Structure 1
């Protein structure tokens, strides 16, 4: 490492790293305030859309910076972690030296907005399928380690909020580094498609995994060769003890360009007519219909796999479903009563990134309320609760 700001790790609270990554006008504001005299200010931090409060990463970072600079910030978390927050309602306030706070806004807003929106998405997904366990598979879609930490934290917060309302929520995630946000020691997962390609068959990949990790539960991807049902049942017959003990699962990850083995449009409708006719007998958008009876991992596909497992004598083999499980897809699956045991998803990552933009405004200078025109609502917004930051 050459000691330059670019070589420093993300989130490092050293001043060179902060000044290199913050907006230039905040750096210049700090210099001006240091020259003409400091003031005590209070910032209000909010988002323009409803979210679930997830402020911990920003608060921890601010405290680390304060300690490094030898100052104190009074951080008042108005909406405690995991609580719902309305659009424009301040999540927290930060009070302290203007000279010490002026250049921090860029970075703490980065750590506030995305987790709050992702937590809201995760919370909604868990509530839509309250009897289903979720596994966070967001890491591969994240732009680096800092985003990975934010998204795992957010899923943990949204899950905990949903669990308070009776949902199973997230049972863990896919990486060791962020497993702590789910109260786990390590990440979960068995095999990617690449292992099946290497093994040459779905069954052989399952055998290899079981030989290498004999004490682990086995979840087998079944779509590699387009034989979800055939290959899934072959694995069940090869490992009847695991199947009977509930330690075997088939994971459906069928590509959106094809139907699950044995399905076509007509059979997809027929499957749902057998199990959830009400789900297809009212108006549906094109997207909802695709989730119900279309290609990929549809509700019909899940029901078809469940039928096959039960008819073959494997009622305890679980079904893991992945591929595009956002809030809307979870809602449609719930309406179709799809027999999913676990959803693997990274789709709590915000889809519209502009919705994640957090905003901070100073609302008081040396104890005198003052805010820019149009943000007067920040001075009168009622507090829904109070917790130490």
Structure 2
């Protein structure tokens, strides 16, 4: 699979007792009832109620591992190629096997699908909005545990590859080593947190410490800790002038949403954008768009101002790295302002509305006979195209 999913991730099979404990009780009871009254071959159609990108490799691999560990046969037929756009309600895949084998797997199967597909769609939208920028997946700290982080990283990698097919740079890596393989790497990216600057006592001293320990690494420095993004940013560039001129220095803007970048206020923010992208502020804007353009925090005006200062000082090759709330909407606002962004650090591909991630599975055939819940007949047409092939693949007994 092109995703880099391996059995060392959350797709690893788990023991029967754990599966039973984590499965909805009515599925466990269904398995017992079916085992007593006679098994049958069933096919599930799995779908999501909102448009997504297909990101099914994790659940496919997990089912394959379960099949191998339990010595059973489960046939999984994806309807779409990984990264394809999927309309609301369209089946993503069909899963065929004995009812007694599959009933107990539905809960865990759905957990590994919906959120990946929505994250993939959001990452795709973000990467396409800013096609020239590199993206770094920094979702780890916002996830409810490591398994969720794997699902989100996988989703971001799928969305990124889809955007790359349309010319975007996309996601080039993540924040830690464990999920680096999703992006074709072996290690995570990142140089320093705010805490290191507090420890060092100054932004420049933190940069010196980092460079002394990691002299061969490019230097990306947070510059908002003391509220002197411009002053401290220029100090770092001047101190590491050779690195800066070689394009190996980056300044990361992570300005708190409660304050403006050094030297800016609403009037000055308007003036900055008027110098570079006047059309961006001369038409109707929503309150949220205005905040992204000329508000506090990491606004388009803040990014343009930092680029202006760096270029005026002769540091045209110094990169601007941005973070703080860069989701679908903010990336679109930055694109509208043609903000000079080199790298975006973000975890905001995590689905914003979690109820949009709910995947659903419905059985559509029992021993080859069509039967589906009233109102879900839309699941049948595309299944009929694959039905005969699935029957040939399944070996009963």
TM-score, normalization by structure 1: 0.95
Q: What is the root-mean-square deviation of aligned Cα atoms in Å?
A: 1.7
Deviations 1:303-357 (A, max 9, x none): 0000000011100000000000001100110010100000000000001000000
Give distance in 2, aligned partners of 1:12 and 1:280. Answer: 54
Unaligned runs of 5+ in 2: 1-9, 391-397
Which position in structure 1 is the counterpart of 2:32?
31
Which position in structure 1 is the counterpart of 2:161?
160
- Matched positions, count: 380
The alignment status of 1:256 with 2:229, answered yes or no, reads no
Aligned residue runs from structure 1 range 89-100, under 5 A: 89-100=90-101
1:320 partner SS:
strand
Which position in structure 2 is the counterpart of 1:171?
172
Q: CA deviation at 1:22?
A: 0.6
Which position in structure 1 is the counterpart of 2:22?
21
Which position in structure 2 is the counterpart of 1:197?
198
Give distance in 2, aligned partners of 1:21 and 1:194. Answer: 38
Q: CA deviation at 1:13?
A: 2.1
Give distance in 2, aligned partners of 1:119 and 1:383. Answer: 28
Give distance in 1, aligned partners of 2:315 and 2:60. Answer: 49
Deviations 1:118-173 (A, max 9, x none): 00000000001111110000001011110011011111100000000000000101
Q: CA deviation at 1:14?
A: 1.0
Give distance in 2, aligned partners of 1:321 and 1:308. Answer: 16
Which position in structure 1 is the counterpart of 2:355?
354
Deviations 1:47-68 (A, max 9, x none): 0000000011111111111111
Give distance in 2, aligned partners of 1:384 and 1:253. Answer: 51
2:112 partner SS:
helix
**CA separation of 1:226 and 1:383: change in aligned 2, threshold 3 A:** farther
1:178 partner SS:
helix
TM-score, normalization by structure 2: 0.94
The alignment status of 1:47 with 2:51, answered yes or no, reads no
Unaligned runs of 5+ in 1: 1-8
The alignment status of 1:61 with 2:65, answered yes or no, reads no
Aligned residue runs from structure 1 range 1-389, under 5 A: 12-381=13-382
1:177 partner SS:
helix
Q: CA deviation at 1:382?
A: 7.8
Which position in structure 1 is the counterpart of 2:3?
none
